[in-house]
Amino acid sequence: MDFELWWLLGIPAFFGLGWIAARVDIRQLVSESRTLPRGYFKGLNHLLNDQPDKAIDSFVEIVRQDPEAAEMHFALGNLFRRRGETERAIRVHQNLLSRPDLPADERAHAEYELGQDYLKAGLLDRAEETYQRLLDTGYAVQARRALLEIFQREKEWVRAIEAAIALQEAGAGSRQKEIAQFYCELAQDALVHMHPDDALPLLDQALQADRTSVRATILVGDVQQAKGETEAALATWRRVEQQSVPHVALVAQRLMDGYRKVGRPEEGVSLLKSYLQQASSIDLLEVVFKAVLELEGVEAAKQLVGDELRRTPTLLGLDKFLEARMLDAPSAVLGELSLVKNLVHGYTQKLARYQCSHCGFKARQFYWHCPGCSRWETYPPRRTEELNVMN
């Protein structure tokens, strides 16, 4: 009973202490706000009203009156950088770094902002030097992320791998997919320079980093084909189906060419038809259509395209259907079919794009690395119209 009474008596006391603390906080806030220059509130008001030019003028005036105001330097530098005035942003942050009495945490902050300025201006060497100086500070993780971006821009894939591993070890999340892509880039370079034996160990590393890497599997098949091992290449490319059925469209032409090379084109057509049943794709249909036309004739090719159009009705499919109908159309209707085909084809050119799932950047060709947002593996292996139909 005494214990409960003490609790009852304590409740008003807790409320009283809370009221006193709130009053102290309010008084402190009012006191601090009075010490801020009027230009700060004017600049803030201009920012809220979407008037960055006037905000900059207000913050410049504050910095002129009080050169020690570090926060104003940061605000002013960020505003300059956002407006694309990177030279002015660089000067602001360099001016801040020239102060010998600048505390260590604010010096690191200024270094980081200066690195951002250099990065925005495209001065990658200076940006790299700046970020390297931050690796032993509280901005180490941010600096490593920026260094990773720089190495990717400069296509320094070995250094990008090292930076990605360092980020992982710093607890900044998994980078395995990116690491696999960097190894694929190195392997691709080796293939381009006709060094397939150098490419294979790199692709092994890619698959160790990411067992689901479709690109690494495709490139292993390319290496085997470059070495004349067509049967091994076919077996490797067929593994793409196990990793991602939609991505089989990316190896369809390779498979068909490989089966022709080993003298079993009918087997290739049969395989690709089975893929088409699993994953409808205009790119896959294109490869199968040409193969069926060559091996089975016009009627079989027309039947293939008609069945696919009924199964997945798209304008891209209609375009291919009209092309098939024109193959043996009577001369009396060929002109009309050609007119309709040209109209449909003109429109489908806008739909026959790959689209990044992160930033929406559209491209005629498939990319592993988005040119718009620089993300990896953000392009679905289907055209935009097909994705819309599926959704």
116 or 333, which is more confident: 116
Pairing of strands 354-355, 362-363: antiparallel
Task: Give the CA distances from residue 114 to residues 82, 107, 142, in Å, rounded to whole numbers and listed in that order.
Answer: 13, 10, 13
What is the spatial distance between Cα 285 and Cα 287, in angstroms, rounded to a whole number? 5
What local confidence, expressed as pLDDT, does residue 352 receive? 83
363 or 23, which is more confident: 363
Count CB neighbours of 202 within 10 A.
Answer: 22
What local confidence, expressed as pLDDT, does residue 67 receive? 45
Based on the domain organization, do 153 and 208 belong to the same domain? no
Which of 219, 243, 267 is the last residue before a domain boundary? 243
Q: Which two tokens stand for residue 64?
A: 């002129």
Which of 243, 259, 279 is the last residue before a domain boundary? 243
Based on the domain organization, do 155 and 220 belong to the same domain? no
Identify whether 308 is part of a domain.
no
Dump pLDDT digits (tens) for 171-197. Answer: 888 999 999 999 999 999 999 999 999
Based on the domain organization, do 101 and 150 belong to the same domain? yes
What is the spatial distance between Cα 179 and Cα 282, in angstroms, rounded to a whole number? 31
Identify whether 163 is part of a domain.
yes
Identify whether 151 is part of a domain.
yes
Based on the domain organization, do 86 and 187 belong to the same domain? no
Task: Give the CA distances from residue 56 to residues 50, 73, 82, 145, 187, in Å, rounded to whole numbers and listed in that order.
Answer: 12, 11, 11, 29, 49
36 or 164, which is more confident: 164
Task: Report the percentage of the chain scoring pLDDT > 90.
Answer: 54
- The binding site for Fe cation comprises 356, 359, 370, 373
Give me the domain span that covers residue 191. Answer: 174-243
What local confidence, expressed as pLDDT, does residue 23 receive? 44
What is the spatial distance between Cα 262 and Cα 230, in angstroms, rounded to a whole number? 7
Identify whether 20 is part of a domain.
no
pLDDT at 346 over 90: no
Mean pLDDT score, 264-282: 93
Dump pLDDT digits (tens) for 77-123. Answer: 787 788 888 888 888 888 878 888 888 988 999 999 999 999 999 99
User: What's the pLDDT band for 50 if we cut at 50, 70, 90?
Assistant: low
Q: What are phi and psi of 43, to 5 degrees?
A: -65, -40
Residue with tokens 């960055």: 52
Sign of CA dihedral 202, 205, 209, 213: positive
User: What's the pLDDT band for 363 if we cut at 50, 70, 90?
Assistant: very high
pTM for the model: 0.78
Q: What are phi and psi of 36, to 5 degrees?
A: -75, 140
Residues 6+ apart with CB under 8 A from 92: 63, 73, 76, 77, 80
What local confidence, expressed as pLDDT, does residue 140 receive? 94
CA-based nearest residue to 276, from 297, 299, 258, 255: 255
User: What's the pLDDT band for 136 if we cut at 50, 70, 90?
Assistant: very high
pLDDT at 274 over 50: yes
Based on the domain organization, do 89 and 186 belong to the same domain? no
Based on the domain organization, do 192 and 165 belong to the same domain? no
Q: Which segment, 64-78, 238-252, 294-308, is predicted with the most confidence on average?
A: 238-252
| Dihedral angle of Cα 239, 244, 246, 251, to the nearest 10 degrees | -30
What local confidence, expressed as pLDDT, does residue 46 receive? 44
Based on the domain organization, do 46 and 150 belong to the same domain? yes
Total number of domains in the chain: 2
Identify whether 376 is part of a domain.
no
Task: Report the percentage of the chain scoring pLDDT > 70.
Answer: 80
User: What's the pLDDT band for 19 if we cut at 50, 70, 90?
Assistant: very low
Per DSSP, the three-state class of 354 is strand
What local confidence, expressed as pLDDT, does residue 338 receive? 82
Domain with residue 117: its CATH number is: 1.25.40.10
Mean pLDDT of the chain: 83
What is the spatial distance between Cα 292 and Cα 288, in angstroms, rounded to a whole number? 6
CA-based nearest residue to 83, from 39, 50, 34, 106: 50
Dump pLDDT digits (tens) for 311-323. Answer: 888 888 888 888 8
Which of 223, 243, 263 is the last residue before a domain boundary? 243
What is the spatial distance between Cα 298 and Cα 368, in angstroms, rounded to a whole number? 36
pLDDT at 150 over 60: yes
Is residue 96 within 8 A of residue 76, CB to CB? The reply is no
Based on the domain organization, do 43 and 157 belong to the same domain? yes
Mean pLDDT score, 32-61: 48
What is the spatial distance between Cα 338 and Cα 3, in angstroms, rounded to a whole number? 94
User: What's the pLDDT band for 334 if we cut at 50, 70, 90?
Assistant: confident
Is residue 369 within 8 A of residue 184, CB to CB? The reply is no
Based on the domain organization, do 70 and 125 belong to the same domain? yes
Task: Give the CA distances from residue 389 to residues 137, 381, 383, 385, in Å, rounded to whole numbers and listed in that order.
Answer: 50, 14, 10, 6
C-beta pairs of 229-237 under 8 Å, 24+ apart in sequence: 230/258, 230/261, 230/262, 231/262, 233/258, 234/258, 234/259, 234/262
Identify whether 43 is part of a domain.
yes
Length of the chain as a residue count = 391
Identify whether 386 is part of a domain.
no
Identify whether 358 is part of a domain.
no
pLDDT at 43 over 60: no
What local confidence, expressed as pLDDT, does residue 83 receive? 83
What local confidence, expressed as pLDDT, does residue 234 receive? 98
What is the spatial distance between Cα 210 and Cα 161, in angstroms, rounded to a whole number? 13
**What residues form DSSP beta bridges with 362?**
355
Mean pLDDT score, 263-278: 95
Residue with tokens 């809220």: 48
Mean pLDDT score, 210-231: 97
pLDDT at 9 over 50: no
Based on the domain organization, do 118 and 200 belong to the same domain? no
- The binding site comprises 356, 359, 370, 373
User: What's the pLDDT band for 330 if we cut at 50, 70, 90?
Assistant: confident
Based on the domain organization, do 103 and 218 belong to the same domain? no
Based on the domain organization, do 160 and 78 belong to the same domain? yes
Minimum mean pLDDT among 33-42, 199-208, 348-357: which range? Answer: 33-42
What is the spatial distance between Cα 304 and Cα 325, in angstroms, rounded to a whole number? 12
pLDDT at 293 over 60: yes
